[in-house]
Amino acid sequence: MADFDIEKAPYGRAEMVDGDAEPRLQRPLTTEEKLNRTTVDVHSATSSRDSNQHEYVPYRAISNFFAPLRRAEAALDSKFGVESHAIERKLPEDRQAWNWHAALMMYGVWASGTMNLSCMATGFLGWEFGLSLKQTILISIFGSLLGGAVTGFCATLGAATGLRQISISRYSFGWWPNKIPAALNTIQQIGWSAVSCITGGIALNAVADGGVSVALGIVIIAVCSLAISFVGLKAILRYEQYAWLVFLVVFLIIYGETGRYADNTTESALTGADLSGTVLTLLAIVYGSSASWATVASDYYTSYPANVSRKAVFLLTTAGVALPTGFGMCAGAVLSSALNNREDWSTTYEEGGIGFLLQDALYPLGFAKFILVLLVLSGINCNILNTYSAAISCQQFARPFSFVPRVLWTILCFGVILVLALAGRDALLTYLENFLALLGYWCTSYFVIVFSEHYIFRKGSVDKYDLTAWNDPKRLPIGLAAFGAFFIGVGAWVSSMEQTWYTGPLAKLIGSTGGDVANQFTFGVTVLSFIPLRWLELRHFGR
């Protein structure tokens, strides 16, 4: 067969038209047309470079099995805008224009997802750990910026490639090892959604003066989140674009009504190594909260122009993640410090949790209930992003999984989220302390590997990526270097983490209770292992 442009052919195929000496590129196929194709030989496509250099097409048996579901998804897409293209690469000609409106959307999607009640609850941890208000605020701001910058870098590859975040990491992890980040990312997003459901359920319980149980509140939050995530990216971006403005006003009100009771004079009783260890542990939690978005950042940028300024993407994403996160955590730090001055608030918090505390702290009572309802909606914002990205990651576990409609994966993830949230609803802060820190560990290894691949081995240029190979195992890296470096990193963070249920030998060396240095140690170990391993991989395998 003569040469053709594999980039523009649906599923890497071009059609021969009678009378033509060259393959003629057809219009993009609809979802239904793709499903009805009878020619599915994955080795029939060729290119000018190599007979195996093609994008894989669905196998007929698998495609036929899921065909009714895919047709239903396509019908929903055409009638209601339910997204059906899922993990397929979005070509440059199919993108939207770049303008101030698009820039606001880029910032707003993260600001709306991060400025929420869960973030505020994390701000209570400094008080729980025995740190002063000043110390907690500094850690919250610095940790949020650090984690936000990690997410900001990963986001720069989304618009440039037109790929989802886990698809992008195939260019460093390879086809098979990349299934590990896909699985971990799914667990991470489901866990975050469970946290948001718990905090939202607690708020609803307070609004109803106990008339709505926390369990019922969790179900309500989960169902509302599912509804928007079900529709897809367009609905998410439209909703999240301006929602953050409402929650900015809400948190300003919380600052205004509770700030005068904040304890800004009491110093921490911790000193020396004990203080250092506690600071490092809280820093790990705050960093993990912001860095955990790194593995989904590009999921929301595939509709932006391929030539959009990567500096603008980095700055808008970093600001969208770090500033609202730090702002919300500081609000929690201020309110928790006020418990030192208001014994009645402290009693309310111990007996009823953060929802009833906010109801007592804000006034008048009717207005306080209204604020709590808005904070419930803030949890939905976070859940929308988490549930959507979890479904996208599920499609990358194995090739057959990519044929399962995204909406079905969304429903399955919803079920898991609901079970986890109901099971963990009685120990929110313990849940946060253990879960959020664990998120940061593997995200650090992920970031180091993707960053090193991009700037060291691909010279910081997207042109060094063969974007037509994103779904072809034979043209992607083997992934041995990333696999090895990632698991060396696992050993690093296991030996240096500090958790309620386990403290690594290195962490035990810092103070009487330990100090979490897993992210720092993981960063160094992953850098030192991935770069030489990747060099060897390229030398021996050439890809």
- Confidence at residue 386, expressed as pLDDT on a 0 to 100 scale: 87
pTM of the model: 0.85
SS (H, E, C) 106-152: HHHHHHHHHCCHHHHHHCCHHHHHCCCHHHHHHHHHHHHHHHHHHHH
Average pLDDT for residues 361-380, to the nearest whole number? Answer: 87
pLDDT tens digits, 33-45: 444 443 333 333 3
Return the structure tokens found at 109. 């999607």
Average pLDDT for residues 154-173, to the nearest whole number? Answer: 95
pLDDT tens digits, 59-73: 455 556 666 766 766
pLDDT tens digits, 98-137: 888 889 889 999 999 899 888 998 999 999 999 999 999 9
Average pLDDT for residues 371-398, to the nearest whole number? Answer: 86
Q: Which residues does 263 contact at the CB level (< 8 Å), separation at least 6?
A: 133, 337, 338, 340, 341
- Confidence at residue 426, expressed as pLDDT on a 0 to 100 scale: 74
Alpha helices in 259-342 (DSSP H): 272-291, 310-337
- Confidence at residue 295, expressed as pLDDT on a 0 to 100 scale: 94
Are 385 and 109 within 8 A, CB to CB?
yes
Are 297 and 158 within 8 A, CB to CB?
yes
Percent above pLDDT 90 for the chain = 50
- Confidence at residue 405, expressed as pLDDT on a 0 to 100 scale: 80
**Amino acid letter at 102?**
A
SS (H, E, C) 174-191: CCCCCHHHHHHHHHHHHH
pLDDT: which is higher, 279 or 542: 279
- Confidence at residue 81, expressed as pLDDT on a 0 to 100 scale: 53
User: Which element (helix H / strand E) includes 4?
Assistant: none
Sign for the CA dihedral angle at 375, 380, 383, 385 comes to negative
With bands split at pLDDT 50, 70 and 90, how would you rate the model's confidence at 147? very high
Average pLDDT for residues 278-295, to the nearest whole number? Answer: 93
Judge residue 18's burial from the number of C-beta atoms within 10 Å of its C-beta, 0-12 exposed, 13-18 middle, 19 or more buried.
Answer: exposed
* Among candidate residues 256, 310, 268, the one with its CA nearest the CA of residue 134: 268
Average pLDDT for residues 480-500, to the nearest whole number? Answer: 92
Q: Decide if pLDDT at 427 tops 50.
A: yes
Phi, psi of 99 (to 5 degrees): -155, -175
Q: What mean pLDDT value characterizes the chain?
A: 83
With bands split at pLDDT 50, 70 and 90, how would you rate the model's confidence at 199? confident
Sign for the CA dihedral angle at 35, 410, 163, 533 comes to negative
- Confidence at residue 63, expressed as pLDDT on a 0 to 100 scale: 55
- Confidence at residue 179, expressed as pLDDT on a 0 to 100 scale: 94
